[in-house]
Amino acid sequence: MKKPPISKKNRISKKIGQNKITDDYYWLENESKSKVKKWIKDQNKYTNYKLKKEGYKLFKKELTKDYKVTNFSLPYPVNGFYFFLERLKGEEQDSLYFKKGLNGKLINLVNPNKIKTDGSVYIDFWDISESGKFIAYGLTEKGSEFATIYIKDVKTGKNLPEHIFPCIFTSLVWLIDDSGFFYTKNLPPKTVNENKNTLYTKVFFHRLGTDPREDVLIFGENRPSDDMIELKLSLDGVYLTISVSQNWSSNEIYLYNIKSKIITTLTTGVQAQFYPLFLEEYLLLKTNYLADKYRILIAPISELNKPIDQWKEFVPEKNSVLESINITKNKILLTYLIKVCHQIIVYNHKGLKQGIIKLPSYSSLTGVSTNDRESEFFYGVTSFTFPEIIYYYEPLKSKYSIYKKTNNPIKTTDYTTKQKWVTSKDGTRFPIFLFHKKNLIKKTKIPTILYGYGGFGVNEIPGFTRSLLPWVRRGGIFALANIRGGGEFGENWHKQGIKEFKQNSFDDFISAAQFLIAKKYTDSDHLGIMGISNGGLLVLSVAIQKPKLFKAVCSLVPLADMIRFHNFGMAIRWVHEYGDPRKLVDFKRILQWSPYHNVKKETEYPNFLLTTATQDNRVNPLHARKMAAILQSVNKRNEVFLLTEKDSGHGIGKSVSKFVETQALILSFLAQKLDLKL
């Protein structure tokens, strides 16, 4: 196929609140129709015909080799046992293992590779009971994020007869006597509109050995359908915190007394975020209430009826963002983000600082693994130039040592990471990371990928990305922009890139591109941009606003139709981030930057590769379909490709081979359009 499939226009008018909008490609929203199925199939044929060339084969071979490594997670310590995920060399998915002692025999508990040999089954989550006797784990299939909970006896290796479905973004905590657990669950399919079955999250209690249909509803009755819920259990097993939010800027905390069955409201009506953790007989709250970069409040569990203003400040706000808290038997580990790189500060349980765990320059944490009943802990470190190294803290020796690390496929000393600062349109300064070979000569024509996200308070940090290695090995540059909408510099940084300030995210990203060109790293003919999900929306928006600034655009699982996004799946939760198109003031504002609604007939746009997947439960595939169709209708010279992956989702749980195929296609597209020498 030398030309893309024809996308017929069939204009309809849709009412959004009190407003009307016309849509030529509304018919592409219904993927169950035979004509839409054929259109999707033809688009894939066209994309594969054009992109599966020499470059694709080279990249696929190289990536296959780079990903043929043993991969592992941080161990979780329980009573002398260690539980962790590990994917052996050549396997498609991670398996769940445990061992007795750090050097004990490896015992497999759950192996998705044996459940389905095609790599379509994935371990979504796992939680160990307090004694380590049982494990509850969630399995998903074919990219769907709806998990089924299974329960396994660790000693016998056998599953209990009961299982629970459907669960998405599950939070689960065990009772301290291992007799059961609290968990979040969604309504079964077909009990609500198919578009909405990712909503309606509620809290239940399951007692082992009973029928899940008899599980007791604890929280969620007559609640908003877009609740997002997280659970925590006190050390004595008496109290359960229920953290509830409908957005990414504020939440409410409820306290459930397991003995009395009484629920008490701790925080409500406060426009701030609260993250609860139990510390002995106290409750800690990590919060940005009166603290943009977060602080920690504390109160005895017996005095939680106090207004939040009367809680004692345990750790005050600092100049850097407090990202997370981890608690061991005798330490508190606070992870801070300092100029978008991590640092761990260690405190004792009294709140006294004990020291700092130093990390390498331009590195980040992959995680910190602690058990509040154990003194030992693990943490993982990575950077653009080296894969994860796991460190272990041995309490008896008060010593940190390397526990495990992955072989590095590149020579670290051959590559460099830089952090530059960019001035945006309104004068705001933000950082951008550059990763490339050392001694790279600026010649203005270096093929460059600029990546961004800029939403939901997400922090984009340096990390080892195997899928980028073929690019930088060949002399290309990878740039990561920390734009507004993220959380890298606090909640205000997030709020400056949402709703009425969403254009700031786009302006920042455009400024990053202009910086790369002005500093002679690249030029417009060799500059590509890439984003995933909200980042896919980002790169679509800036490409529509500044079409001559970029040569190629990779928009992966993106949003595009921002006038109707709220109608599909869990996207109703995102009106707090983008605005609500049903409201006139938001409708007018969103219409100014919604990429699907700003494509102009007389404009030639860059080359595009859009991707989506049939099982995407987060961002409906209709966005990518409609955006591809409208771009193909106006571009006369530059090409527009759409790839729809079968039996895949938003990216979570994808098998290694499927991931490699997609990444090879992406690199093939970028190499073609940006003149990367193979």
- The question of whether 616 is a catalytic residue gets the answer yes
The pair of structure tokens assigned to 266 is 């701790």
- On whether the CB atoms of residues 483 and 505 are closer than 8 A, the answer is yes
- On whether the CB atoms of residues 462 and 480 are closer than 8 A, the answer is yes
Residue 188 DSSP one-character state: P
CA 381 to chain centre: 18
- Total Cβ atoms within 10 A of residue 269: 7
The catalytically annotated residue of 364, 555, 650, 668 is: 650
Strand 159-167 versus strand 134-141 pairing type: unpaired
Got the DSSP string for 574-589?
GHHHH--TTSHHHHHH
Cα separation, 245 vs 340, in Å, equals: 26
Cα separation, 275 vs 590, in Å, equals: 31
Cα separation, 183 vs 172, in Å, equals: 4
- The question of whether 349 is a catalytic residue gets the answer no
Cα separation, 458 vs 296, in Å, equals: 20
Angle formed by the axes of helices 54-66 and 656-674, nearest 10°: 140
What are the φ/ψ torsions at residue 505 (nearest 5 degrees)?
A: -60, -45
The catalytically annotated residue of 616, 623, 648, 668 is: 616
Of 357, 386, 358, 368, nearest to 463 by C-alpha is: 386
The three-class DSSP label of residue 509 is helix
Got the DSSP string for 300-369?
EGGGTTS-GGGSEEEE---SSEEEEEEE-SS-EEEEEEETTEEEEEEE-TTS-EEEEE---TTEEEEEEE
Position 352, amino acid: L
Strand 527-532 versus strand 71-72 pairing type: unpaired
The three-class DSSP label of residue 393 is strand
The catalytically annotated residue of 144, 533, 594, 648 is: 533
Report the side by side order of strands in the sheet with 147-153. 121-128, 134-141, 147-153, 159-167
The pair of structure tokens assigned to 611 is 């991707």
- The question of whether 120 is a catalytic residue gets the answer no
Angle formed by the axes of helices 622-634 and 34-51, nearest 10°: 60
Cα separation, 368 vs 441, in Å, equals: 38
- On whether the CB atoms of residues 296 and 284 are closer than 8 A, the answer is yes
Strand 399-405 versus strand 282-287 pairing type: unpaired
What are the φ/ψ torsions at residue 674 (nearest 5 degrees)?
A: -105, 5
Residue with tokens 């991590």: 342
Got the DSSP string for 116-170?
-TTS-EEEEEEEE-TTSSEEEEEEEETT---EEEEEEETTT--EEEEEEEEESS-
Start-to-end C-alpha separation, the chain: 24
- Total Cβ atoms within 10 A of residue 323: 19
Q: Give how far Cα 444 sits from Cα of 414, 486, 521, Å.
A: 21, 29, 5
Task: Give the active site residues.
Answer: 533, 616, 650
